[in-house]
A and B are shown apart, each in its own frame.
Chain A
Amino acid sequence: DGGITQSPKYLFRKEGQNVTLSCEQNLNHDAMYWYRQDPGQGLRLIYYSQIVNDFQKGDIAEGYSVSREKKESFPLTVTSAQKNPTAFYLCASSIEGFSGANVLTFGAGSRLTVL
């Protein structure tokens, strides 16, 4: 079945450590996105990539980094510079970036807790 796989589902991190969240899709989608979800707030865009080897900052990119070396993969690194990293992270993909009636398909999410 086609879909988006995020791992790990749960992750605990000590302050000062970098962690990388994995996101893999087999939908042959061009565009991939990372969102952060916090209680009482809407999904907020961290980074997005519309093509391999290219990505753009979203609204809350500070303290995060990404890479897009392969079409299928868009890992997110939460660095120690991110002041409040505890959150639910959602990866998504779509066929052609933000244009047209493209629907976002989401992964199951990764819940990061900083101890």
Chain B
Amino acid sequence: GQNIDQPTEMTATEGAIVQINCTYQTSGFNGLFWYQQHAGEAPTFLSYNVLDGLEEKGRFSSFLSRSKGYSYLLLKELQMKDSASYLCAVRDLNTGNQFYFGTGTSLTVIP
């Protein structure tokens, strides 16, 4: 099966940096995705990692360590609009490349 764990809630200050962690257990790992979801809206794609290392996209970066079953999403220069839920998802080869989602981390950015 797939066990995807991420913190339920986090709070950070505007202008600061926040790191959202995600751990997973899957035998057929085939990529890890991060999505942002504002309340009542569609999740939107942020980043994709399939090899170890850091992927940077503007204020957002994502890191993957396949040996540790670990990823993090790093948000820099936080803005109020970054308040949202951040979903970690893993794709599993052994189940036809289905996506499995964590419960999401609700981030609140405070002034």
Interface residues of A (CB under 8 A from B): 4, 35, 40-45, 58, 88, 90, 97-99, 101, 103-109, 111
Contacts and interface: CB of A to CB of B under 8 A. Distances in A.
Interface size class of B (residues with CB under 8 A): 20 to 34
B42 A101 contact: no
For the complex, would chain A's binding face be called helix, strand, loop or mixed by DSSP majority? loop
A90 B99 CA distance: 14
B33 A98 contact: no
For the complex, would chain B's binding face be called helix, strand, loop or mixed by DSSP majority? strand
Contacts of A40: 103
A103 B48 contact: yes
15 contacts: A42-B101, A42-B103, A43-B89, A43-B99, A43-B101, A44-B101, A98-B91, A98-B97, A98-B98, A103-B33, A104-B45, A106-B42, A106-B43, A109-B40, A111-B40
Nearest to A50: B96
Interface of B: 4, 31, 33, 35, 40-45, 48, 50, 87, 89, 91, 96-104
A107 B91 contact: no
Contacts of A43: 43, 87, 89, 99, 101
Nearest to B31: A101
A20 B35 CA distance: 27
